[in-house]
Chains A and B, each alone.
Chain A
Amino acid sequence: MKFLSRALLATTAVLLFAAPAVSASELTVGFTLDADTLDPANHRKRETETIIRNLYDGILTRDAEMNVVPEIAESFTQISPTVYEFKIRQGIKFHDGSDLTAEDVKFTLDRLTVEGAMGDGQTSPRKSLLGPLASTDVVDAYTIRINLFEPWPILPAQLPFQEVVSKAFVESVGTAGLATQVNGTGPFKLVEWRKGDSIIMERFADYYGGASDIAPVGPACVDRVIFKVIPESASRVAALLAGDVDIINELPAFSIGQVEANPDTTVMSVNGTRSFFVAMNLEGEYFDDIKVREALAHAIDKDLIIDRILGGYASRIEGILSPDAFGSSELPAYAYDPELAKQMLAEAGFPDGIDVTMDVEGAFKDTAEAIASLLTKAGIRTTVAVGEGAQLAEKWRTKGGPKSGDMFFTSWGNGSLDPFDIFIPTHRTADRGNSAGYANAELDAILDAASVELDVAKRAAMYHDAEMIVNHDLPYVYLWVPQDLYGVSTRVSGWQPSADSRINLHDACVN
């Protein structure tokens, strides 16, 4: 009997000590896509970036208001039009415990920008994101200088997208190893990557705390973070409602009511960075006439579509730029007026209206149908033609080559919120995203000059001029910038969505 009770006591004691004192807090994100790779220099996808950014930190980052602030850097100054100096913070540790120095930062930037630096003669696919970066010099153990080929005011806006790797680690595991192994300086360490299924991370206890401008500074709040890949949006919503995940991205507008009606979940939104517009084929039989284009602009009731189809979660635009982008400004609006549209069509020589088609990707068919019915009411009888993304892009983005088709309902993203990344590709003559076939030498000159203008006020004024030109010329009917929608469990606190669609979980807590 004595033996039995002792044994029982011992077993209980073992069980008590074996069980963790406090249960680990775990936050799960239901996410649209898996990472392609975990190598920060070897991908071009936003979703991959979002995952990597919780494991690695950058030289600079962005706060909730999208201001660029130092992260690994302590401070940065522009010492000449083409030279930037960055002071690197001391005491930053990689996940393996080694110290981060200026050598690692130089190595990171070289790996991104030097031809063939990825090994096997390969160049980083992210090289173009750093534009005219010529070279990086180490000044001392905690100072680097970035030299540019030409003045490039966008450098600080682009650096938050580049994460710092450990030179010693990359040299030991190689580019092949870096695809699946992580030794970053971010708030979380990699535990396991179950490819196609999930990425599991845990808190990095020796984290330096992150950007000092973004409170709270210190190690992450939760013990574990899991990015669980659920590509189908209905399933992502189901996982949130079932309590399997705490945050989901790309909440479809038609599920807003469902998530709001559930007492344990809520909808969070943030201004997005993707501008939607209808491209008109300026070489086509109707849209070479500005009257017809103006008629189109007056025939679309943007507010109605934003209200009914996008759940109210979008901002109207009258030019290409998002209201949050650098250089955006008040522009004249084309009011909804179908009678005026009819009248303008008649003035253009089409008193009986016109018959046109509008190409669209399957995902946006509903919105395109709504636009088409509004246009049809105003005499622009529109048939919606659904196509596949890559095929439509090739049909419309011909870089100045001849094209067929009347209209294309499409969009362009602007994660940097700097106009150069959206204005130039979509509007400069024969550029890669110019689906209207628009060509205006005056605008080209302004865009080229603005790209290298260092005076912030002057540069903003230049983009205002550019916006006024396209608002008048109407190569596109500019529609709206939808907000990014997230479904969030009420367990989560301290987290808010970010306009660049990063999901930064450093400050997120779960109850």
Chain B
Amino acid sequence: MSLGKLIERLLQLVPVLLGVSVIAFLMMALTPGDPVQIIIGDQQITAEQEAALRHDLGLDRSIPERFAIFLGNAVTGDFGESFYHRRPVSEVIAERLPATIELSLVALLIALATSIPLGVLAAIRKNSIFDRIATVGSLLGVSLPGFWFGILLLMLFAVNLHILPVAGRIGYSSEIEPITHFLLIDTLLRGRPDAFLDALSHILLPALTLGLPMTAILMRVTRTSMLEVLRQDYVTFAEAKGLSRRRVLFRHALKNALIPTVSVAAIETGSLLGGNMIVETVFGWPGLGRLVVESIFLRNYPLVQAAVLFYAVTYVLLNFFADILYTVLNPRVKL
């Protein structure tokens, strides 16, 4: 892809982001529920005190006025102050982001590492018992609700077998000075294999829960596209040439069969962010998803707006990345 095309695609981001900010703002502003009432909670308060609080939060202004302020500040990177944390939302989100990204990446890794071999195997042994088990398994994987599956894993591995912890990101004896804020990397960089194993034991169950539906989807994509490829003339030709079965499968077939898998994986990574909200709640994972869910119920406007924008940017970038990857893997496709 040429540089010009790349820039053009990046510029397309601008109207998307503008649109998303309008929607994020309006959705919050127009949803019933008054942040001031929620903050006050079950207390007696005078009308003046209530008005003062509303003023302090900037909610005494009209919606167009608030939108203008929001947009004006947002372009300078200022998304306002969280109603509850009383700190800039960018700061609050930045604190929680590494945990979410780390969890999503590990889930992606698990999904890729399991789905591709399983998908290939199912395709090679089409209609075998293995293929049938894998197909039913993937159907289950897509349909099992994450919170239920997560709690089952918890009951088995944490409560009954006592081999993995229930919640959190790392134990309390493992205090690691952050470098990248990704604990699996930081523990290794600091030369603490014990803490690395500790962090790994914490991330395993949430990552499995989060990665499972993706494994199922990717496995089916891989299986289908592998079957497709195996029917192609060039595969028959390669076999006719007398190449070994292994060479045909891995050098000729798999390379092409993985093209759809990779692009679906890139797009599905965006939905990992959404799935995070449930998994983070079940496993007490200190990530962004849980923070956003809590903030929606509390009508913490600035935080939700900033987080929605962040999700949108990530999603758009991932799609963009998938497109680029697609052209790299399959030079016949042009953007």
Residues of chain A having any CB pair with chain B under 8 Å:
26, 30, 33-34, 36-37, 39, 42-46, 115, 121-123, 125, 127-129, 175-176, 179, 192, 194-198, 200, 224, 226, 228-232, 234-235, 238-239, 241-245, 274, 388-391, 393-395, 397, 412-415, 420-422, 424-425, 431-433
Contacts and interface: CB of A to CB of B under 8 A. Distances in A.
Contact of B41 (A44, A235, A420): A44
A245 B168 CA distance: 12
A242 B158 contact: yes
B284 A235 contact: yes
Interface stretch (B44-52, B121-129, B131-139, B308-316): B44-52
Given A238-B154, A415-B42, 6 more contacts: A115-B52, A196-B99, A197-B284, A238-B155, A238-B158, A390-B38
A413 B42 CA distance: 6
B166 interface: yes
A420 B45 CA distance: 10
A369 B166 CA distance: 32
A412 B37 CA distance: 13
B59 interface: no
A226 B155 contact: no
Contacts of B31: 390-391
A241 to B, nearest CB: 5
Nearest to A122: B56
B146 to A, nearest CB: 11
Given A36-B85, A242-B166, A424-B44, A196 B96 contact: yes
B158 A388 contact: no
Contact of B33 (A127, A179, A391): A391
A125 B168 contact: no
A40 to B, nearest CB: 12
A45 B84 contact: yes
B303 to A, nearest CB: 11
B40 A44 contact: yes
A37 B86 contact: yes
A393 B45 CA distance: 16
Interface stretch (B68-76, B105-113, B214-222, B285-293): B285-293
B87 interface: yes
B229 to A, nearest CB: 43
Nearest to A447: B44
23 contacts: A36-B86, A121-B56, A123-B52, A179-B85, A179-B87, A229-B284, A230-B284, A232-B284, A235-B167, A238-B158, A238-B166, A242-B159, A242-B165, A243-B162, A245-B166, A388-B297, A390-B32, A390-B34, A390-B38, A391-B33, A415-B42, A425-B43, A432-B50
Interface string B74-109: 000000000011110000100110010000000000
Nearest to A273: B42
Given A123-B52, A229-B284, A242 B162 contact: yes
B281 interface: yes
Contacts of A421: 42-44
B199 to A, nearest CB: 12
Contacts of A26: 172
A395 B284 contact: no
Nearest to B48: A128
Contact of A393 (B37, B44, B166): B37
Nearest to B92: A195
Nearest to A229: B284
**From B46, B84, B95, B166, residue with most partner A Cβ within 10 Å:** B166
B282 interface: yes
Given A128-B40, A425-B43, A395 B32 contact: yes
A424 B39 CA distance: 18
B325 interface: no
Interface string B154-184: 1100110010011111001001000000000
A198 B168 contact: yes
Contacts of B162: 242-243
Nearest to B100: A196
B167 A228 contact: yes
A239 B167 contact: yes
Contact of A43 (B40, B84, B158, B284): B84
A170 B121 CA distance: 64
B204 interface: no
Nearest to B164: A242
B84 A36 contact: yes
B151 A234 contact: yes
B87 A37 contact: yes
A391 B166 contact: no
Contact of A194 (B56, B155, B286): B286
A335 B312 CA distance: 56
A74 B152 CA distance: 52
Contacts of B45: 128, 432
A167 B52 CA distance: 25
Given A195-B95, A234-B151, A242-B162, A228 B168 contact: yes
A264 to B, nearest CB: 12
B172 A200 contact: yes
Given A36-B85, A242-B159, A231 B96 contact: no
A262 to B, nearest CB: 9
Given A127-B49, A390-B34, A196 B287 contact: yes
A412 B282 CA distance: 28
Contacts of A127: 49, 52
A127 B48 CA distance: 11
Contacts of B158: 238-239, 242, 244
A92 B266 CA distance: 59
A415 to B, nearest CB: 8
Nearest to B161: A242
A52 to B, nearest CB: 13
A182 B168 CA distance: 23
B84 A128 contact: no
Contact of A197 (B169, B281, B299): B169
**From A229, A231, A241, A389, residue with most partner B Cβ within 10 Å:** A231
Nearest to A192: B175
A45 B83 CA distance: 12
Contacts of B175: 192
A241 B172 CA distance: 19
B33 A393 contact: yes
B159 A238 contact: yes
B44 A226 contact: no
B46 A413 contact: no
B324 interface: no
A32 to B, nearest CB: 10
B252 to A, nearest CB: 47
Contacts of B151: 232, 234-235, 238
B53 interface: yes
Nearest to A412: B42
B166 A42 contact: no
B147 interface: yes
Given A230-B167, A244-B165, A389 B297 contact: yes
